[in-house]
A and B are shown apart, each in its own frame.
Chain A
Amino acid sequence: MTVISARGLRKEFTVRVKVGRLRRDRRTVAAVDGVDLAIERGEMVGYIGPNGAGKSTTLKMLTGVLTPTAGDISVCGLSPVRQRTRLARRIGVVFGQRSQLWWDLPLRESFELLRHIYRVPPAEHAARLLRCRALLDLDEFLDTPVRQLSLGQRMRGELTAALLHGPEVLFLDEPTIGLDVVSKQAVRGFLAELGATGDVTLMLTTHDLADIEKLCRRLLVIDHGRVVHDGTIEALHARYGSRRRVVVELESPAAPPEVIGATLVTVTPLRFEYDLTGATAGELLVRLAGLPIRDVSIVEPDIEDVVARLYTGVPVTDAP
C-alpha cells in the first residue's frame, strides 16, 4: 500500500534580488522542481541532499505546512494542506531544530498534554510511553523541565512526543543534528527498532550519512529540487562507480601483481591498494598468495564520497 505519493511536486518561492542601489527585482526560484515519490507502508526512506536542495520544503509540503505550487500529494490517503488537522493525527513530525515540547514543563507533563491534544485513549498512551521510556531511557529526566534537558535528552523527548499518538508515518527532519555519538546511537537504535516492526513508515532527512547507512534501505537523493537518485545505497555506488578497495600491507617490499578485474590505485614499497572493478576480493587474494603479506583489509565504499561527488555537481544529469 502506498502511504506517501507525490507527482510532479513543485514549489516556487519569490525572492527579491538587489539590483543597483535601491531597485530590487523579484525572481522566482523553484526549491522543489518536479519531484515524484511513492513510498510504501513500512518503508524507511532516507532523503538527502545538500543545503538548499529542497529537502525540508518537500517535507513541509508532505506534512501540510506548505502548499505546493504545482503537483499532487497524498499522505495516508489525505490531501496534506486541505486536510491538515486530520492528517496531523495520523503522522508524527520531528523537526530537529523546532520543539514540540513545553519549554517550562517537565517532559512527563508535555506528554500528558499531547495525550489530550491528540485525544489518545489513556491505555494506548500509557503503553506507548512505557515502550519509549524503555527504549530511549527517558526515566532519569522525565521530571526535568524541558529547558534544562541536554540536546540529546530533548531529542529523545521529541521522538517520544511524535510517537505517542501512534502515527502511521513519521517524518524526521535532521533528527540527529548536533547530537553526540552516544545520543546519535540511541536515536538510531530506536528508529531501527521502530522500523523493524513494519507498521510505521519513516522518512528522514539528514546530513549524517551514517543515519542512512544504519537505517534506510532506500535512499532518495535530491539536488536542485530534483530527485537524482532513488534506490538502494548499493545501486548508488554502482551507478556512480564507487568500488570496494583492498588494502595490502607487506612485511618487506615487493612488486604488486597485475590482476584482471582490479585496478592498482596506490603503490608504495610496503603497501598497495586495489579497487575491485570486476574481480572478487577472494580472487584477488588468491593472486596475492606468495607475497610477504602482513595485513589485508577491505574497505567498503564510503557513501559520503559518492554523495560529495553528487553534491559538487559532477555527472548528475541523467536521473533514472
Chain B
Amino acid sequence: MRAYWALLRGQARSQTSYRLSFGIDLVSNVWATALDVFTVFVLFAVTRTLGGLDLHEALVVTGMSACAFATGDMLVGNIERITLYVRTGRFDAVLVRPLPALPQLVLLDLPLHKLSRAAFGATVYLVALGAADIAWTPGRALLAVIAPVGGVVFFGAVFVVTASVAFWWTESGEFGNAFTYGGRDFTSYPVSVYSGWFRNAFAYGLGFAFVSYYPALALLGKPDPIGLPGWVGWIAPLVALPATGAAALIWRAGIRRYTSTGS
C-alpha cells in the first residue's frame, strides 16, 4: 500500500510542479462535462419530455452518468496512454518494478487535474437529486450512493478493456473512444430515446443501460417504457462485476501477449 501511495505522491508532485498549467487544466476540464449538461437543457428547450422523463428526471440520468464517467476517467482513464508506453518501450520499465503493471500505470499517470471535472459531475448529480421529485426511502438513499460507484467501476472496466487493445493493435488510437466517450454520451440520456440494434447492442449487449438509466428509474419510481421489470434498477449497479471480470481477463491476456511479442 505504501508503495502505491508513493506512486500517487510522485504523480501529484510532478503535476503540481507546473503550477499554471495545472490550474488551467483544472478549470478547462470542467467545460467538457458542463457542455454535456448544457446539451440536456438545450434539448428540453424544444421538448417537454425525453424518453418519458421530464427535465429534472432526465438530469438525474445525466448527472449520474457525468459523475460516474468523470470519476472513472480520472481514476483509470489515463490507462489509454498504454499505447504510448507500449510503442516507446517504456512499458519495460514498468515491468521491472516489483508491483503489478495495471495499478502502476494508473497511478503513474493519474490526471489529478480531472478532479475538477469529477467534482462538477458529482455536483450536477446532487443538484438533480434535489430537484427531481423522489420519494426518499433508506433503500433509495443507498441506491443513490451505490449506483454512481458501480458506474465508476463500470467505466473503469471499459477504459481498461479499450486500452488493452493496444497490446494487439499498437496504433489503436480512436477505436477505444467509441466505447469510452461513446459510452458516456450514451448513458447521458434515457435509453428509451434510442432504438433498434444500436440500443440493444450498447444498452444491453455492453450493459451501458445499467450504469445510469435503470438506477435512475428505480430512484424516481418510474416504470421502464421498454418493459423491463422494476427490480432491474435495484440490481443494475451489479453490472460492474462482470465488466470488471471481463476487463481483468482481457488485461491479463494483453500482458501475456506483450511479454511474448515484445515491443
Contacts of A118 on B, CB cut-off 8 Å? 3, 98
- A63 — which chain B residues lie within 8 A by C-beta? 95-96
Give complex CA distance A99, B17 in Å: 19
Give the nearest-CB partner of A88 in chain B.
B98
Question: Interface size (B, Cβ < 8 Å)?
Answer: 27
Query: Within 8 Å CB of A100, what residues of B?
Result: 93, 96-97
Which residues in B have their C-beta under 8 angstroms from that of A112? 6
Q: How would you classify the secondary structure of chain B's contact residues: helix, strand, loop or mixed?
A: helix
Q: Which residue of B lies closest to A116 (CB)?
A: B6
Contact partner of A119 among B3, B15, B17, B95, CB < 8 A?
A: B3
> What is the bound-complex CA distance between A57 and B92, given in angstroms?
11
Q: Does A145 contact B (CB under 8 A)?
A: yes
Stretch at the interface among A79-87, A149-157, A271-279, A283-291: A79-87
| CA of A122 to CA of B125, assembled, Å | 45
Which A residues lie within 8 Å of B14 (CB)?
102-105
Given A57-B262, A60-B92, A98-B90: A117 touches B18 (CB 8 Å cut-off): no
Q: Mark B7-48, 1 if CB is under 8 A from A, else 0.
A: 101100111011000000000000000000000000000000
Cβ of A67 under 8 Å from chain B: yes
With known contacts A57-B262, A109-B10, A113-B6, A67–B256 Cβ distance under 8 A: yes
A113:B95 contact, CB within 8 angstroms = no
Closest CB of chain A to B197's CB: distance in Å? Answer: 32
Q: Is B5 an interface residue (CB 8 A)?
A: yes
Cross-chain contact A104 with B17 (CB below 8 angstroms)? yes
For the complex, give the distance between the alpha carbons of A230 and B36 in Å. 65
Shortest CB–CB separation between residue A79 and chain B, in angstroms?
13
Taken residue by residue from 48 to 74, chain A's Cβ proximity to chain B (1 for < 8 Å, 0 otherwise) reads as 000000000100100111110100000
Q: When the two chains form the complex, which single residue of B13, B100, B259 contacts A85, counting CB atoms closer than 8 Å?
A: B100
Interface bin, chain A: 35 or more
Contact A95 B93 (CB under 8 A): yes
Cβ–Cβ contact A66 & B6, under 8 A: no
Closest Cβ of chain B: how far from A68's Cβ, in Å?
Answer: 9
Chain A residues, Cβ within 8 Å of B2: 116, 119
A86 partner residues in chain B, CB cutoff 8 A: 98
Which residues from A are CB-within-8-Å of B10? 102, 105, 109-110, 113
Chain A residues within 8 Å of B130, by CB? none
Residues of the B chain whose Cβ atoms lie less than 8 Å from the Cβ of A116: 2-3, 5-6
Check: A197 CB closer than 8 A to any chain B CB. Answer: no
Q: CB-nearest residue of chain B relative to A165?
A: B98
List of A residues within 8 angstroms of B97 by Cβ: 85, 88, 100, 117
- With contacts A104-B18, A105-B13 taken as known, whether A88 is within 8 angstroms of B262 at the C-beta atoms is no
Tell yes or no: A216 within 8 A of B by CB: no
In the complex, A317 has a CB within 8 A of chain B: no
Contact assessment for A60 and B262 in the assembled complex, using a CB-CB cutoff below 8 Å: yes
B96, A93: Cβ atoms closer than 8 Å: yes
Partner of B96, one of A64, A81, A102: A64
CB of A13 within 8 Å of the partner chain: yes
A117→B96 contact, CB < 8 A: no
Cα separation A307 to B42 with both chains bound (whole Å): 73
Once bound together, how far apart are the Cα atoms of A185 and B51, in whole Å? Answer: 73
CB distance from B86 to the nearest CB of A (A): 12
Are B259 and A67 neighbours in the complex by a CB distance under 8 Å?
yes
Contact B6 A98 (CB under 8 A): no
Set of chain B residues within 8 Å of A102, measured between Cβ atoms: 10, 13-14
A89 at the interface (CB under 8 A from B): yes
In whole angstroms, what is the CA distance A118 to B3 when docked?
Answer: 7
User: Taking the complex as formed, is A266 at the interface, i.e. its CB lies under 8 A from any CB of chain B?
Assistant: no
> Are B262 and A66 in contact, with the CB atoms below 8 A?
yes
Q: How far is the CA of A145 from the CA of B13 in the complex (A)?
A: 11
Q: Which residues of A contact B92 (CB under 8 A)?
A: 60, 65, 95, 98
Q: Which residues of the other chain, A, contact B259 by a CB distance below 8 angstroms?
A: 64-67, 81
The CA-CA distance from A97 to B89 in the complex, in Å, is: 9
Q: A64 — which chain B residues lie within 8 A by C-beta? A: 95-96, 259
Q: Are the CB atoms of B95 and A65 closer together than 8 Å? A: yes
Q: Which residues of A contact B100 (CB under 8 A)?
A: 85
Tell whether A312 is near chain B: CB-to-CB under 8 Å.
no
In the docked arrangement, what's the CA distance between A116 and B10, Å? 11
Q: Is B195 an interface residue (CB 8 A)?
A: no
Q: Is the CB of B6 within 8 A of A145?
A: no
Of A13, A84, A88, A145, the contact of B261 (CB 8 Å cutoff): A13
A306, chain B: closest CB distance, angstroms: 30
Given contacts A116-B3, A119-B2, contact A85 B260 (CB under 8 A): no
Beyond A85-B100, A86-B98, A104-B17, list 5 extra A-B contacts (CB 8 Å): A65-B96, A88-B99, A98-B89, A105-B10, A118-B3
10 contacts between A and B (CB under 8 A): A60-B92, A67-B256, A67-B260, A86-B98, A98-B93, A100-B93, A100-B96, A104-B15, A104-B18, A145-B17
Interface residues of A (CB under 8 A from B): 13-14, 57, 60, 63-67, 69, 81, 84-86, 88-89, 91, 93, 95, 97-100, 102-105, 109-110, 112-113, 115-119, 145
